[in-house]
Amino acid sequence: MSTQRLKGKVAAITGAGSGIGRAAALLFAREGAKVAILEINQSAGKKIEREIIATGKEAVFIPMDVSRWESVRDGFAEIKRLFGALHILYNNASIFLGKEDAPVTELNPKSWNKILGTNLNGLFYCCKAGIPMIIKSIGGSVINTSSSAGIIGVPKCDAYTATKGATIALTRSMAVEYGPREIRVNCIAPAAIHTPMIQESNLNDPDFDEQTFLKTTPVRRWGSPEEIANVALFLASDESSYLNGAVIAADGGITIT
């Protein structure tokens, strides 16, 4: 049931073609937002655009490679042209390269730069382009995506872990910087969410034992993209109006065990 918590708002979601981003795009649109679907995969972006429009809601697919400043700059210019405002920026796009990421002593510098290019540079680029638009729209919400890897030590993925720890630090810095400008900056740190990325980050790892993992997870199950989208909706809405600089570990309790 829709409560129209985002009525009249314009929301930009990166990586909105699949997984958590797709779930958030559907939910934000259902709650009344006009949604800019920022996605590198054109077929996935166009598909979710059609799905949202078919429900009578407003959405537009804007091709974007968040690792390239020119692509981000042009994409946000298109949001301004189409909607004239921006109230919510959900920096959801991330990559996990299980076959390339590794401990620092084994990590190829090209892989390090590729992962940082999307997960950290992309966050910077989108905030650089999007936050001035939110300021002109008289404030709003920035939602960043970290991970349990940004909170606890996770082996064999040092580049990914570095980006997710940096995301938390940057969230806090921006919260202090832009809070006086009526922009709240918060962060979600998911873990064990059943998305296409889980195949790359866990299930394809020959050392990963799914049954043991689930037995040691406090809630004893995987999370769903929709559950994280609900957290993002709370952070996007006025219901979280006094939350700024928060890191919400949406992980079923993994980081407390």
Distances (CA, A) of 104 to 4, 116, 157, 192, 198: 46, 14, 8, 24, 22
> What span, in angstroms and rounded, lies between the C-alpha atoms of 16 and 14?
5
The dihedrals phi and psi of 34, each to the nearest 5 degrees, come to -85, 125
List CB contacts of 209: < 8 A, sequence separation 6 or more.
Answer: none
From the list 127, 132, 128, the residue with the least C-alpha distance to 143 is 127
Contact 95, 115 (CB under 8 A): yes
Contact 180, 200 (CB under 8 A): no
What the block records as the tokens of 222 is 């995987």
Residue from 90, 125, 160, 178 carrying the catalytic annotation? 160
Say which residue the tokens 């990325």 belong to: 197
125 is catalytic: no
Query: Alpha helices, DSSP H only, in 142-255?
Result: 158-178, 196-198, 210-215, 225-236
Residue 106 to residue 155: CA distance in whole angstroms: 12
Q: Do the beta carbons of residue 16 and residue 35 sit within 8 Å?
A: yes
Residues with active-site annotation: 160
